[in-house]
């Protein structure tokens, strides 16, 4: 079995200059930090209690039991046999992970052409925004009697998903009758939250209503594709075990102590050096495959929420010897690279101008696919494109893009996939997850919380009159009102 490769030639000072590129001496100077980061993560990952309490249980997801995987695969197959449409409701990782999987692993134009789906149901995503036009269009054009609904929410209180779920439940009830709950599956916290309470109450009345799958503790939304995304994989015809096998192989690669043998560790180290020492604060991810564009969008959330932190991390040791991570209010960092998602070759005709001649504050990560399952040969003509394969033209375009960037001393690197398959896609996601974990260690931040996301949520809850909100939220909102001066609106 081939493996994913990481080509980082174009990140070094050779040909790029010491002001831009990394030197091997700088890598050696970071050796102590790297060993410390590895040892710390290794210690945490070896303890289930530590993984769960600190939010790293996702690292164990590739090693789930076969019976768990088989049961989810079987459930997905059962849904496929009975329904023509499946509507997923979720936001953040509960949307981006599913969309990434569908675009990468299902056939192109999956929903549009019956032959592409091979008798599998059409799959739609909602609950990821508050734009009324998309949800209304979906419900207007689907038959509720032929639609199965999967709602994904840990608490059941996230505004976008909750609003969509309330609308969809009413639509199902009106269209199918009192047993509408049999067409809803909840992926949620197994013990607490409003969605869990609704599931439990429904099942007391009808054991076939509101079946559920657990969102595992210690698995944050952006790291949860190998938890909450497994049912979706089964529904679109993917062997769940293949995805997890790829992630498992990458997990083993990421355990290697030698920097030059550990792709995620090397990626994190190089990006950390370029960010802290060279001022490369913009992270552009550009797959040269349309099927991987949504995977790049998934990475936006992963990097932004994981590394975009105001405060450093303070580690406190609890009486039982476990670690507690707290925000160090004395260490204001405002850290984190800013991710941008684009796609080759289409975006070479837009953002590439800025990449080449704009501010030199970026690292560009390409994703190259070596072999495509389908290819097209241009017809023989008196033209330089005549008889050329699309895949070869795409590869040449990537090579030309690398050359143009290096010529202008612009940093870039390439992640090389043998092909787009469940195995290699699973490995790719785990590579990025572990790279974020390593980079968080090097920055000394908590890469597994997202306190900055809570601000807008709390403001909305306050304005909507939600009960039980801490008094400090109301005080903060009153202290810092949103001011709109008419003269600044033209």
Do 285 and 181 fall within a single domain?
Answer: no
Catalytic annotation, pick one of 349, 380, 484, 486: 349
Tell me whether residue 425 is in a domain: yes
Q: Distance (Å, rounded) from C-alpha 99 to C-alpha 89?
A: 12
Paired strand residues for 152 = 187
Residue keyed to tokens 């949520």: 457
Do 72 and 45 fall within a single domain?
Answer: no
Do 105 and 153 fall within a single domain?
Answer: yes
Give 300-353 pLDDT, tens digit per residue: 999 999 999 999 999 999 999 999 999 999 999 999 999 999 999 999 999 999
| pLDDT for residue 479 is more than 90 | no
Q: How many CB atoms lie within 10 A of CB 188?
A: 26
Do 24 and 101 fall within a single domain?
Answer: no
Catalytic annotation, pick one of 57, 126, 198, 305: 305
Do 364 and 252 fall within a single domain?
Answer: yes
Give 14-36 pLDDT, tens digit per residue: 889 999 999 999 999 999 999 99
Do 376 and 268 fall within a single domain?
Answer: yes
Do 310 and 433 fall within a single domain?
Answer: yes
Write down the pLDDT at residue 239: 98
* Sheet arrangement for strand 5-7: 5-7, 411-419, 362-371, 282-287, 338-341
Do 414 and 433 fall within a single domain?
Answer: yes
Q: Using alpha carbons only, give the angle 23, 38, 244 rounded to the nearest 5 degrees.
A: 105
For CA atoms 325, 327, 332, 336, give the dihedral sign: positive
Residue 408 in contact with residue 356, Cβ under 8 Å?
Answer: yes
Residue keyed to tokens 């050096």: 273
Q: Distance (Å, rounded) from C-alpha 423 to C-alpha 420?
A: 8
Give 138-155 pLDDT, tens digit per residue: 999 999 999 999 999 999
Residue 309 designated active-site: no
Residue 232 designated active-site: no
Residue 276 designated active-site: no
Do 134 and 37 fall within a single domain?
Answer: no
Do 163 and 176 fall within a single domain?
Answer: yes
Our count of domains for the chain comes to 3
Tell me whether residue 324 is in a domain: yes
Give 152-166 pLDDT, tens digit per residue: 999 999 999 999 999
The two three-digit tokens of residue 482, written as one number: 């949103």
Average pLDDT of the chain? 95
Q: Which of 193, 210, 235 is the last residue of a domain?
A: 235
Do 370 and 395 fall within a single domain?
Answer: yes
Tell me whether residue 301 is in a domain: yes
Give 40-98 pLDDT, tens digit per residue: 999 999 999 999 999 999 999 999 999 999 999 999 999 999 999 999 999 999 999 99
- Distance from chain centroid for Cα 12: 28
CATH at 95: 3.40.50.10490
Catalytic annotation, pick one of 146, 169, 457, 466: 457
Tell me whether residue 215 is in a domain: yes
Q: Which of 179, 212, 235 is the last residue of a domain?
A: 235
Tell me whether residue 448 is in a domain: no
Tell me whether residue 449 is in a domain: no
Tell me whether residue 204 is in a domain: yes
Q: Which of 204, 235, 266 is the last residue of a domain?
A: 235
Write down the pLDDT at residue 480: 87
Do 68 and 47 fall within a single domain?
Answer: no
Residue 146 in contact with residue 182, Cβ under 8 Å?
Answer: no
Domain span at residue 475? 454-488
């Amino acid at each position: 079995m081939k493996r994913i490769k990481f080509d980082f030639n174009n990140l070094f000072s050779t040909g790029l200059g010491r002001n831009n590129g990394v030197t091997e001496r700088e890598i050696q100077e970071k050796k102590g930090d790297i060993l410390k980061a590895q040892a710390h993560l290794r210690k945490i990952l070896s303890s289930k209690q530590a993984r769960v309490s600190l939010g790293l249980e996702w690292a164990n997801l590739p090693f789930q039991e076969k019976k768990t995987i088989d049961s989810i695969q079987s459930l997905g197959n059962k849904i496929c046999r009975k329904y023509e449409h499946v509507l997923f409701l979720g936001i953040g990782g509960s949307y981006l992970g599913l969309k990434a999987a569908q675009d990468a692993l299902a056939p192109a134009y999956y929903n549009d052409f019956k032959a592409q789906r091979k008798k599998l149901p059409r799959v739609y995503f909602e609950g990821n925004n508050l734009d009324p036009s998309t949800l209304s269009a979906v419900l207007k054009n689907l038959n509720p009697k032929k639609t199965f609904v999967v709602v994904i929410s840990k608490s059941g209180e996230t505004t976008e998903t909750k609003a969509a779920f309330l609308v969809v439940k009413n639509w199902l009830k009106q269209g199918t009758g009192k047993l509408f709950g049999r067409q809803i599956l909840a992926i949620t916290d197994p013990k607490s939250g409003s969605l869990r309470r609704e599931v439990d109450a429904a099942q007391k009345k009808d054991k076939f209503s509101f079946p559920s799958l657990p969102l595992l503790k210690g698995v944050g939304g952006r790291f949860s594709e190998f938890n909450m995304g497994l049912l979706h994989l089964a529904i679109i015809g993917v062997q769940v075990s293949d995805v997890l096998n790829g992630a498992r192989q990458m997990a083993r690669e990421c355990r290697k102590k030698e920097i030059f043998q550990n792709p995620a560790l090397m990626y994190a180290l190089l990006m950390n050096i370029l960010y802290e020492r060279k001022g490369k604060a913009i992270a552009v991810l550009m797959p040269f495959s349309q099927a991987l564009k949504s995977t790049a969008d998934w990475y936006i959330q992963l990097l932004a929420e994981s590394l975009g932190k105001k405060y450093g991390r303070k580690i406190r040791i609890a009486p039982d010897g476990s670690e507690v991570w707290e925000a160090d209010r004395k260490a204001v960092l405002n850290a984190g690279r800013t991710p941008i998602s684009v796609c080759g070759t289409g975006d070479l005709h837009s953002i590439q101008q800025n990449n080449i001649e704009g501010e030199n504050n970026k690292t560009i990560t390409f994703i190259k696919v070596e072999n495509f399952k389908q290819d097209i040969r241009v017809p023989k003509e008196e033209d330089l494109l005549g008889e050329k394969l699309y895949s070869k033209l795409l590869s040449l375009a990537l090579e030309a893009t690398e050359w143009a960037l290096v010529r202008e001393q612009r940093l870039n690197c390439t992640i090389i996939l043998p092909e787009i398959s469940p195995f290699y896609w699973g490995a790719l996601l785990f590579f990025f997850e572990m790279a974020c974990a390593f980079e968080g260690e090097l920055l000394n931040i908590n890469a597994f919380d997202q306190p900055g996301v809570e601000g807008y949520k709390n403001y909305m809850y306050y304005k909507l009159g939600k009960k039980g909100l801490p008094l400090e939220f109301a005080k903060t909102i009153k202290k810092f009102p949103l001011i709109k001066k008419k003269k600044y609106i033209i």
